Structure 1
Amino acid sequence: MDQRAAEEQIAHLTRAVDDLSEVVARQQAEIDRLARRVGLLLSREAEREAESGGGVPLADQRPPHW
């Protein structure tokens, strides 16, 4: 492989790495956003269950057929 071809290949690989890095950064931002939303939903559900009057939380109750 001559030097020009090697330089072209390096340029293409550098571009591919940069593109993949951008994708990973966007995905991490989306994961962080979703994790915050799940945390908020869990907190809201815990508050709702606490306000509904003690007892066993619905998620911890056995199904009626048991």
Structure 2
Amino acid sequence: MRSQDGQAPRWMYYIGVEDIDAAMEKIKAGGGQVLNGPHQIPGGEYSLHARDPQGAAFGLVGPRIAQR
């Protein structure tokens, strides 16, 4: 079954982190790509979507320790 925009359903795994900004920098340093975010979500934490160097998509969720 596909959605109205033609996308097939899929799972997104989210990993909890202690500091979303530090984790984002580690993704970039390790050759990954941040696709979007971080965006604040209800409850005050932040989430982002990323891709590892092999192309696997995942999400992170956690607080923003040092405001930019």
- Give TM-score scaled by structure 1 length: 0.22
Higher helix share: 1
Relative contact order, higher structure (CA 8 A, sep 6+): 2
What is the TM-score normalised by the length of structure 2? 0.22
Q: Tell me which structure has the larger Cα radius of gyration.
A: 1
